[in-house]
Structure 1
Amino acid sequence: MRLSEVMTRARLVLAAAALPALVLTACSGEPTADPSGGSTDTATAAAETPGEAASSPAPLPTGSITPSENLDAIAVSDADVPEITVPAPWAISSTQTKVLRDSSNPQVVGAEAKVTVNYVGVNGRTGTVFDSSFQRGKEATFSMGKGVITGFKNGLTGQKVGSRVLIGMTGADGYAQGNPQAGIEAGDSLVFVVDIIAASYDEATGEAVTPAAGLPTVTMTDGKPELTLPQGGINADQLVVQPLIKGPGAEITADSSITVKYRVWGAKSGKLIQEGWQPQTGKLSALINGWKTGLLGQTAGSRVMLIVPAADSYPNGEPSKGLEAGEGVVYVIDVLDVNAAAS
């Protein structure tokens, strides 16, 4: 089963360069079942509702299993590739998470984050492994936003990057309708051990930076930045880079692929020109000169204001949106993720 989703993205820049739509594939190979809620064939996929729990708890596959109230009966080795011992047949009464290896990393997995993990999945009814990214030798990368089975999403949200967690989930929070190819029946409780390797940010997180005098003022309203220009606007005759929050993540290089959300306003009028306040991904090298220069050296988790001259943004303006020819623009950008170029 491919753990993948097609991410339809808005254009990042209305000028010649834009962030393209991407396919984010979590893993190579063909896992039998995976936490994305996907499936190996069309028939199975049609029978499942990825990322959504059943309207009522699925029945246990056998009346002989008494659901456990906790994860105490599950044993996990401390090896790099964990071995999981489940006293099958086993089930759990409610989805739970237990931290096996804590992390000193303050970053936690957000509900909409893109995560990279290694994991082993065991069927509680049989005690056997039904999927393992460790065995495939390939980490899994996917978005938590949609398509992920409920138990996996709930089990990872709020956990620290760098930690190892044990997740026990009910059948309703796993594959509620079962997954025959993986040997999962409707109602089977599942056990996952997950190493959280990396995660994107949902929003800017880090140390606030005091802007230089005379620059536009940025305030957050309902989770989005709003811009207030000085009286008469500003002369965007040269590139200005003003970090507003300094994030703790990886640094952007010329070869980086970045995930951002952004908004852009006219530097004279203060009119909102482009709304891009949703995660979107692309290569820095494909973007306008104002971004290629202004974002270089910035870090994941940062919020950055760029004042970009017209020559490096919209040389001919955008009259239909109130941006005159020769008028520069102001971007506010949250850098959610930074990835090195593929080797």
Structure 2
Amino acid sequence: MKINAFSHDLFESISEQKIHHWVGLAVELAREAYENNNAEARAYVERLIFRINADHSFAAPLSSPVGLVWNILMKAKLTASITPYLNNGCRRLEDLQALLREAVIKTDREDHTWIDEILEESPYDHNFVVYTKNWFITAYGFCHQLISLAQHTNVKVERVVLSNVSDELQGTDHATQRSRFFKSICGRPFDSLQALEDPDTLTEAFALSNYRTGVCALPVPSYALGSFYSVEVAYVPSCERLLRGLNKHAFGDQDILDYVSGHGVLDSQHSEEWVDAIRAADLTEQDYECVTAGALAQLELRHRWFEAMRAAAKSAASLKPASLGFPSSFQVDNFDFNRLGDSI
């Protein structure tokens, strides 16, 4: 059964028997994806979470049983993503800033050089098309995620978050600019349902988007503050590489060039604003560790996304259902989880 059918079926009945069925399935999926590290289960779950997020404006869904399923899957995902970075020893803003400076330098060296490589030949090279498709997934719903975070902050932080929302909506809104970027490079408009089964779209891109949606839904904003701070500081050097690579080929789409160059400046400003937001949040030492954990988890998921793009480019064998596209062996009804590994 395909994700679209699965997601739709969640809304068809709210009988107690049906709820027990979906909750039991969600628990098994979460265990396979995030405890047993089953790649095919994770591919399925990340796409399912993304479908639910897109259907609910990137906020926690309230309808039952889809809300129960989402909570079970998201709790398992966030636990697996964040736990390795807790107890990190960063208990002051200065500690966080110093650690992220080093982390972003490492990110630029290890990940962003991939942008240089894929723009070596042409902006329409297949690898840059793949990058664009996956980048769009990671940015899809960004404004909605900010709005979700604003609901869980004090007034001082809320002002900073909503200022970022305002920047997203000024003039030609950023979502429209990103859509134009996608269409110019990929040759067609973005369709979130098609993306679920597009063989070029990586599980890791969905995972990165879903992480940000999840931390923004938490009642404690610390993890999301760290996530957005790391988003802004990391995107600045990648914009510099994008702009350099596009200009190298005398790229003619001025809207895209303006978007990339504008974000190089704007996100630098935003990173400072997120420092102000973190400072205004009246955080305890333990809270600062949570902010740091939220940032490091975001950067790790981002690193995995870049690594997955490199792997996909190096070998056609990496484009198998366990990593890309829909895992066709999944059956929602009468599913035998013990046989998952056979198809990977």
TM bracket, shorter-chain basis: under 0.3
Higher helix share: 2
TM normalised by structure 1 equals 0.25
Higher strand share: 1
Query: Larger Cα Rg: Structure 1 or Structure 2?
Result: 1
